[in-house]
Structure 1
């Protein structure tokens, strides 16, 4: 079964688009509020309905502030989660990966003549651990001729 790789680019586009939409919406709302507050109204005597409207506005403002804070915290946690996943993912290696240096047959022969440690054996041959002249420790398989 083939596993699907995590693709943060698609998620980042969605998050960026959502944040851009919210930013534009806030700017539009702020410009509408500025236009409404620019209108001059004559002062009127305070009535009980105005104080109720003022209390409603305060409660709505508090609710919207809490809602905005929660949405911001959720978006921030989501972005941090994406970053952590991106940092922890294993890199995809492309092309051949060579882990060992070139070993000349002469250096290998001299290393095998020295003291070797038997690691194990199988029906195909024995496995030895030996050290090269440059200090590199390698495992060598001795193949039996059939």
Structure 2
């Protein structure tokens, strides 16, 4: 009986060892590295921002008088998100009214536009304001009376 019990033990131990070795082999693998290539193509065009201004509010412009506020919106008409980094507002180049001592862009000062800069989603808008004031020059400014000052908005 002792021989049978010893033989059973050897069979059990041998089976356990083979199972452990065989089970360990199931976790073996080869390691490797590799490279590949691919590409993606970005769009080639952005859409120009659209800017719409509202009528100016505030008292009438006069030398060193009150400022007027002009509200405006910037719209992204494109199909992708575009970044608004700045809005500049100027009096239209070459504009003048009157013949003797004409009223020109030099008679006005425009503050920096107040607008939140950043990403604008497609069809999204951002609202802003800008202030304009007539300065007091050491010259006759009668030509500016009743003038409508043309403003040019440039968004980038």
TM over 0.5: no
User: Highest relative contact order (Cα 8 Å, sep 6+), 1 or 2?
Assistant: 2
Bigger share in strand:
2
TM-score, with length taken from structure 1: 0.29
Indicate the structure (1 or 2) with the bigger Cα radius of gyration: 2
Comparing both structures, which one devotes a greater share of its residues to helix? 1
Length-normalised TM-score, structure 2 = 0.28
